[in-house]
Amino acid sequence: MKYVVTAGPTREHIDPVRFLSNPSTGKMGFAVARAAAELGRDVVLVAGPVALRTPKGVRRIDVTSAREMLAVVERELDGDDVFIATAAVADWRPAECAAKKLKKREMDGTLKLVRNPDILKSVRCRHKIGFAAETNDVMVEAARKCREKGLDMIVANDVTERGAGFGADTNRVAFLRKDGSVERLPMMSKLAVARRIVRFAEGLA
Ligand code: C5P
């Protein structure tokens, strides 16, 4: 059994110099990878574009887009692995990516988008843990995602709260397990949250 962890944002290119993305820094996912490696587990970290050092003992594979992330996860994940999806995957991508930088005169102010694959929902493996970064109705949304994506647990966090979510070194989250139980954790470092997540994953039969 190994851990496959996704982290950071994805970039969905419009042309070689423009893209759609989000402010994820990858800190939460890198902390999860580090926490699993600390226990001596094999860890594959599939990272979008981030400026972080690879944790010791972790095999890192860098990707750019959601489709690249999906392809690497599918290649790396075996049926009895644990998949922990912390990446802030872009839900949409431009329908086309221009081979050369678009000139202003070639753009008419509209951008056609198509849906990206849902990596966490589509992969099949023994155990899956996801994140729900929400701005409202946090627990309702988290419960729905846990059910729809077939997860063992979802880690819910309100990204509007200070010291939680994108870029912070701390996080305040709630664990919502598939049996319906909820555990609200106090504000703590992302590494401490990561160790709690890995402890839960280790306890899964
Ligand atoms: O974006 P959403 O709130 O649905 O994300 C919930 C979980 O699903 C997160 O763990 C995220 O990493 C994962 N996800 C994914 N692929 C997507 C969208 C989300 O793996 N395209």
User: Would you list the DSSP string of 162-186?
Assistant: TTSSTT-SEE-EEEEETTS-EEEPP
Per-residue pLDDT of 57-87, as tens digits, reads: 999 999 999 999 999 999 999 989 999 999 9
Alpha helices in the chain (DSSP H): 27-38, 66-76, 119-122, 138-148, 190-202
**Which residues are tagged catalytic?**
22
Of ligand 1's atoms, which has the minimum distance to the CA of residue 129? 10
CA contacts within 13 A on the Cβ side of 133: 20
How far, in Å, from the CA of 151 to the mean position of ligand 1? 11
Which of 193, 192, 174, 194 lies closest to 182 in space, CA to CA? 174
Count the neighbouring beta carbons within 10 Å of the beta carbon of residue 61.
15
For ligand 1, is residue 156 a contact (CB within 6 Å)?
no
Per-residue pLDDT of 179-188, as tens digits, reads: 999 999 999 9
Domains in the chain (CATH in brackets) are: 2-202 (3.40.50.10300)
Region 27-32 average pLDDT:
97
Mean of all residue pLDDT scores within the chain: 95
How far, in Å, from the CA of 118 to the mean position of ligand 1? 6
Identify how many contiguous H helices and E strands the chain contains and give both numbers: 5, 14
| 18-20/12-15 β-pairing | antiparallel
pLDDT value at 133 more than 80? yes
Could you tell me the pLDDT band of residue 162, with boundaries at 50, 70 and 90?
confident
∠ CA 83-88-89, rounded to 5°: 85
